[in-house]
């Protein structure tokens, strides 16, 4: 009896202690998760600092460009062509860089982007004619800072933290835009060359600090293995290509085994045929990166999200690429006042990315964000078309537009990185950047043409119409997110 009662007592004690063990285990897991999150944030701090330097150098020259172009006797349409040239070069660079980022890592390409930006700003400071301004845009083919930074964040964050970290990327960009245009306008008021060379120095400083980025979990050898295997995604087209390559390799091996001794004409003919097949396979491998990008683009959800980003980004690109010119031509602002207005947009970037993106993305689904803030973009662009009479009305109307556009951009970017395998995140971000490059290639020429032929209000009408088309396609299910 005593033994049984003792066993019952021990069992009851164990039952009482079990919840405490579970609770303590959960507490330990939560503490370890919080500690890992803090460690991750500290490792990414250097990336955020370099990204801020990149955007600070880029935004420093934003007020400079239209005034320097006017001082060189350039036309308004020529300015749009120059900005379209920059967008076209970035489009080509984005198409070529995706598989290279997956293979060699985004850290290397962030350094290349900073070096190219420094070179571009230095040539701008030396420009004495309009053709030199066109030459200063050539390094834009390597200016892939947004793509490299987003690829770094996507590579080193989990799916749960990715939206938050991408929001920090936008906040750093907004902080740079809050300071850069004001400083750039002040420098432009004093000296055009001083402004351009200051931007070149900031970009070079970021390039020199690239080694401070901590190494990631994936080494270069692992990226090369992943880059070689990432082209073999579980897609019917890729499986067919792999089967054809395997069959060709087996045929070559079987033929090599049956080659006759040296001096035989049949053996030399077979060797010649084998070398031709090897050369054809090498040429075939050159198209592997392009085939990989096409296969990634055809994955479920990627095509629809990419089209959404085009419809969202095109009217925004029209405003971004010609904003400084519009402030100069339409509102007759001086360089310093031009910088103040552009810095106000940078402050809006910081407020939206730090206070609105995280809470809204957690409470709403992707489709709800598309519909709600798509309608917000329709109304914001419509209000912008009515604000040509006053700079203060223009500044007030841009606040809801920035909120809607940044939410749509950030949420779709995060969703794109979730619908593809981890080894293809650089490729899908390159596809996104190439679509943005296509927008910035066409948008400046379209915006300057509309401004010259119709007037300022035409830009708002075009943006409102584009957002309305996007909302209708998402609502009808044509574009699925």
DSSP states along 16-75: HHHHHHHHHHHHHHHHHHHHHHHHHHHHHHHHHHHHHHHHHHHHHTTTHHHHHHHHTT--
Tokens for 206?
């970021």
**pLDDT attached to residue 107:** 86
The proportion of the chain whose per-residue pLDDT surpasses 70, expressed as a percent, equals: 74
Least confident interval from 161-165, 309-313, 363-367: 161-165
* Closest C-alpha among 209, 206, 211, 213 to residue 118: 206
Tokens for 364?
């709403």
Mean pLDDT, range 106-117, rounded to an integer: 90
* Closest C-alpha among 398, 378, 394, 360 to residue 472: 378
Tokens for 463?
């943006």
Confidence of residue 357 (pLDDT cuts 50, 70, 90): confident
Q: Please state, in angstroms and rounded to a whole number, the distance separating the CA atoms of residues 158 and 124.
A: 40
Which letter, b or e, does each residue of 86-98 get, where b requires 16 or more Cβ atoms within 10 Å of its Cβ? bbbbbbebbbbbb
Q: Give the count of alpha carbons within 13 A of 51, CB side only.
A: 28
Q: Please state, in angstroms and rounded to a whole number, the distance separating the CA atoms of residues 391 and 70.
A: 22
**pLDDT attached to residue 121:** 92
Q: Please state, in angstroms and rounded to a whole number, the distance separating the CA atoms of residues 454 and 448.
A: 10
Tokens for 21?
């063990």
Q: Please state, in angstroms and rounded to a whole number, the distance separating the CA atoms of residues 309 and 433.
A: 10
Q: What is the CA radius of gyration of the chain?
A: 27
CB contact set of 382 (below 8 Å; sequence gap of 6+): 460, 461, 464
Mean pLDDT, range 367-388, rounded to an integer: 88
Average pLDDT, the chain: 75
- Residue 361 pLDDT > 90: no
Q: Please state, in angstroms and rounded to a whole number, the distance separating the CA atoms of residues 32 and 180.
A: 39
**pLDDT attached to residue 2:** 45
Least confident interval from 78-92, 112-126, 260-274: 260-274
- Residue 281 pLDDT > 60: no
Identify which of 112-121, 241-250, 263-272 has the greatest average pLDDT: 112-121
* Closest C-alpha among 469, 451, 154 to residue 319: 451
User: If DSSP codes are grouped into helix, strand and coil, which group holds residue 365?
Assistant: coil
3-state secondary structure string across 140-180:
HHHCCHHHHHHHHHHHCCCHHHHHHHHHHHHHHHHHHHHHH
Mean pLDDT, range 236-250, rounded to an integer: 39
Confidence of residue 421 (pLDDT cuts 50, 70, 90): confident
Q: Please state, in angstroms and rounded to a whole number, the distance separating the CA atoms of residues 265 and 270.
A: 9
Q: What confidence tens digit (pLDDT) does each residue in 99-109 have?
A: 777 777 888 88
- Residue 393 pLDDT > 80: yes
Q: Find tokens 């400084």 and name the residue.
A: 324
Q: Please state, in angstroms and rounded to a whole number, the distance separating the CA atoms of residues 471 and 405.
A: 13
Identify which of 167-181, 225-239, 386-400 has the greatest average pLDDT: 386-400
Q: Please state, in angstroms and rounded to a whole number, the distance separating the CA atoms of residues 342 and 348.
A: 10
């Amino acid at each position: 009896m005593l033994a049984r009662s003792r066993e019952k007592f021990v069992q009851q004690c164990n039952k009482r202690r079990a919840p405490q063990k579970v609770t303590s285990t959960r507490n330990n897991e939560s503490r370890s998760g919080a500690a890992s999150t803090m460690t991750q944030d500290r490792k990414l701090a250097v990336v955020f600092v370099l990204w801020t330097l990149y955007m600070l150098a880029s935004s420093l020259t934003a007020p400079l460009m239209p005034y320097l172009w006017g001082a060189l006797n350039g036309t308004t349409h020529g300015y749009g062509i120059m900005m379209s040239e920059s967008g076209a070069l970035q489009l080509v660079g984005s198409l070529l860089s995706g598989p290279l980022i997956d293979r060699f890592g985004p850290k290397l390409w962030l350094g290349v982007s900073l070096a190219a930006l420094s070179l571009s700003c230095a040539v701008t400071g030396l420009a004495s004619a309009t053709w030199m301004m066109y030459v200063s845009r050539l390094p834009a083919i390597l200016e892939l800072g947004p793509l490299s930074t987003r690829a770094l964040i996507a590579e080193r964050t989990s799916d749960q933290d990715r939206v938050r970290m991408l929001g920090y990327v936008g906040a750093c960009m907004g902080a740079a835009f809050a300071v850069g245009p004001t400083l750039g306008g002040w420098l432009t008021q004093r000296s055009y060359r001083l402004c351009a060379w200051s931007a070149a120095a900031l970009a070079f400083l970021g390039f020199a600090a690239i080694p401070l980025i901590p190494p990631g979990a994936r080494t270069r050898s692992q990226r090369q293995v992943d880059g070689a295997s990432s082209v073999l995604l579980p897609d019917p087209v890729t499986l067919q290509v792999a089967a054809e390559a395997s069959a060709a390799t087996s045929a070559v091996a079987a033929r090599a085994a049956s080659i006759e001794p040296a001096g035989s004409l049949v053996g030399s003919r077979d060797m010649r045929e084998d070398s031709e097949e090897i050369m054809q396979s090498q040429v075939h491998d050159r198209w592997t990166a392009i085939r990989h990008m096409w296969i990634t683009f055809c994955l479920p959800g990627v095509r629809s999200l990419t089209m959404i980003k085009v419809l969202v980004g095109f009217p925004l690109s029209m405003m971004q690429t010609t904003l400084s010119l519009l402030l100069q031509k339409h509102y007759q602002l001086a360089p310093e006042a031009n910088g103040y207005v552009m810095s106000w947009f940078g402050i809006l970037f910081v407020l939206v990315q730090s206070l609105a993106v995280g809470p809204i993305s957690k409470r709403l689904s992707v489709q709800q964000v598309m519909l709600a803030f798509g309608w917000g973009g329709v109304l914001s662009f419509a209000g912008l078309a009515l604000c040509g009479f006053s700079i203060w009305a223009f500044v007030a109307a841009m606040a809801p537009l920035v909120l809607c556009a940044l939410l749509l951009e950030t949420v779709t970017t995060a969703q794109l990185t979730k619908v593809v395998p981890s080894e293809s995140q650089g490729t899908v971000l390159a596809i996104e950047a190439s679509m943005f490059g296509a927008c910035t290639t066409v948008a400046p020429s379209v915006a300057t043409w509309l401004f010259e032929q119709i007037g300022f209000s035409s830009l708002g009408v075009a943006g409102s119409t584009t957002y309305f088309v996007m909302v209708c396609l998402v609502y009808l299910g044509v574009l699925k997110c």
